[in-house]
Amino acid sequence: MTQPMLEIEGLNAYYGRAHILHGVGFSMGRGEVLALMGRNGAGKSTTMKAVMGLVPPQAGRVTFEGHTIVGREPFEIARLGIGYVPEERRVFSELSVMENLSVAQRPKREGAPHWTPERLFQLFPNLGRMRDRPGGAMSGGEQQMLTIARTLMGNPKLVLLDEPSEGLAPVIVEEMAKTILALKGEGLSVLISEQNLHFAGSVADRATIIEKGLIRFTGTMDELKADEAVRAQYLSV
């Protein structure tokens, strides 16, 4: 059996005294897009932060390409080849698009696509047309694209996208879906946290549903679309 790109087992995490994740576990393969789905407050973002070491798990195991990463600092985890795009768009508002990309540049990584600004401008043509624009003068959708592009400059093998379609205009959401499929086409693994079933269904191979910090469903997107009871119980607003 092929080694999973990312494997999570028995993950427990807290915010202060609040127990947020209860034995969370799932795995994903190389070149796979997995949607971590659930309502607001279900534990999606906390799971991503636990993988990145931003919320240190109290128990459980996270392995990336066979290496245990629990207990490592976030910068060490990023260096191993995991890129993280948080829900709140973080661009350097005083820096231009080009400068935002340049500060994130990392050497080539074996087994990962090598990104340059010019390659990214093919993926994000809008950014190519505003390469000298300050990050703070961009729309929310443009900032989201820039945040993803900047993350890719680190040449990751796995990208974690937290709520990538949240608060974006429908036309930008469509662009976002094309971007995720393009990354998959490059051989990247992509973990997205998402509430929007239509969006997740357009990009993901499989879905894992989390509710109140517990995994409630794991299966293909087709299985999820066919299971009305699961959708009604865990995804309906």
111 CB neighbour count, 10 Å cutoff: 10
Structure tokens at 188: 């990247």
Q: Taking residues 78-93, what's their average pLDDT?
A: 90
Q: Taking residues 187-210, what's their average pLDDT?
A: 95
Of 232, 176, 163, whose CA–CA distance to 203 is shortest? 176
CATH topology assigned to domain 32-52+80-234:
Rossmann fold (3.40.50)
- Helices (runs of H) and strands (runs of E) counted in the chain: 10, 10
pTM of structure: 0.94
Query: 90-140, pLDDT tens digit by residue?
Result: 889 899 999 999 988 888 888 888 999 999 999 999 899 999 999 999 988
Q: Taking residues 71-89, what's their average pLDDT?
A: 92
Model pLDDT, residue 57: 92
In degrees and rounded to multiples of 5, residue 146 shows phi and psi of: -65, -40
Please check whether residue 12 is in contact with residue 54, taking contact to mean a CB–CB distance below 8 angstroms.
no
- Whether 82 has a pLDDT exceeding 80, the answer reads yes
Say whether 57 sits in a helix, a strand or coil. coil
Query: 12-64, pLDDT tens digit by residue?
Result: 999 888 999 999 999 999 999 999 999 988 999 999 999 999 999 999 999 99
Share of the chain above pLDDT 70, in %: 99
- Whether 1 has a pLDDT exceeding 60, the answer reads no
Higher-scoring residue by pLDDT: 160, 139 = 160
β-pair partners for 14: 19
Structure tokens at 186: 């490059």
- Whether 232 has a pLDDT exceeding 60, the answer reads yes
User: Rounded CA gap, 203 and 131, in Å?
Assistant: 28
Domain boundaries, the chain: 32-52+80-234
Q: Taking residues 64-78, what's their average pLDDT?
A: 94
pLDDT band for 167, please (50, 70, 90 cuts). confident
pLDDT band for 237, please (50, 70, 90 cuts). low
- Whether 87 has a pLDDT exceeding 80, the answer reads yes
Q: Is the CA virtual torsion 64, 66, 70, 71 positive or negative?
A: negative
**What is the separation of C-alpha 9 from the centre of its chain, rounded to a whole number of angstroms?**
18
53 CB neighbour count, 10 Å cutoff: 21
Alpha-helical segments (H) within the chain: 44-51, 74-80, 97-102, 117-123, 125-128, 140-152, 170-185, 197-203, 221-226, 228-234
Average pLDDT, the chain: 92
